[in-house]
Amino acid sequence: MPNELTVSQYINQFFPQFEPGLKEKLIANCYIKKFEAEEVMMSPGQYFRSTMLIVEGRVKLYRQGEEGNEFFLYYIEPGGACALSMICAARQETSEVMAKAVEDTVALLIPIQLMDELMRDYKTWYYFVLETYRNRYEELLTMVDNIAFKSMDERLEFYLKNQSEKLETRQLNITHQEIANDLSTSREVISRLLKKMEQRGYLALHRNYIEWKK
């Protein structure tokens, strides 16, 4: 990737809230790992040797069903961490989710041997972990609310709006099948609803992307 940064630069840029001692500890012990777009970063049944801090790119987490179908959970973006990897690494448990790089991604990997020490000795890490858990919990609650209380067209509108805001663009390079996978429905249903939303002026369907207008 162009303009590659050092661990120290990544820590200072994306985690300025960390206390000086914690920054020094992370700089001395964690390392940079790069993932290509579409590369699987974490698989169900995998044991963790480290936990991840995301500093470039975007990561998508899924829950995988017995028949191989995938259910979208949430994204991790620069400045964020994988709460599930923190839990599994600390308890030496296997992953129950799959994580995939949406685009070329850079992560800082922290050895699991440091987990107890970081939680015990550094307050800013302790609060960072709690905030990460809280944010993921709120995202999961939103997802449950959408499934339980909203119709598919409402869920689709929320999904596209959320994608546009997170990516800071109105041009969404995502296929109808990918949306269907994320919302656990069929491509035909998504295509039909997208056409209706286009007729209402919410979006414009192009050959390789969706233009969000609302």
Higher pLDDT, 67 or 23: 23
Higher pLDDT, 2 or 163: 163
What residue has token string 């949406």? Answer: 102
- Are 192 and 152 within 8 A, CB to CB? no
Segment among 63-67, 74-78, 97-101 with least mean pLDDT: 63-67
CA distances from 174 to 13, 28, 58, 195, 206 (A): 29, 39, 14, 15, 11
2 confidence band (pLDDT: 50, 70, 90): very low
- Are 80 and 54 within 8 A, CB to CB? yes
Q: List % helix, strand, coil for the chain (3-state, nearest 5).
A: 45, 25, 30
What's the whole-model pTM score? 0.80
What residue has token string 């990918």? Answer: 178
Can you give the pLDDT at residue 141?
87
112 confidence band (pLDDT: 50, 70, 90): confident
- Are 178 and 187 within 8 A, CB to CB? no
In angstroms, the CA 157 to CA 98 distance is 25
In angstroms, the CA 66 to CA 118 distance is 36
Residue 37 DSSP one-character state? T
- Of 208, 210, 3, the residue nearest 104 (C-alpha): 3
CA distances from 89 to 7, 51, 66 (A): 21, 6, 24
| All domains of the chain in start order, with CATH | 7-147 (2.60.120.10), 150-212 (1.10.10.10)
Tens of pLDDT, residue by residue over 175-190, are 999 899 888 889 999 9
CA distances from 84 to 42, 60, 87, 92 (A): 10, 13, 5, 12
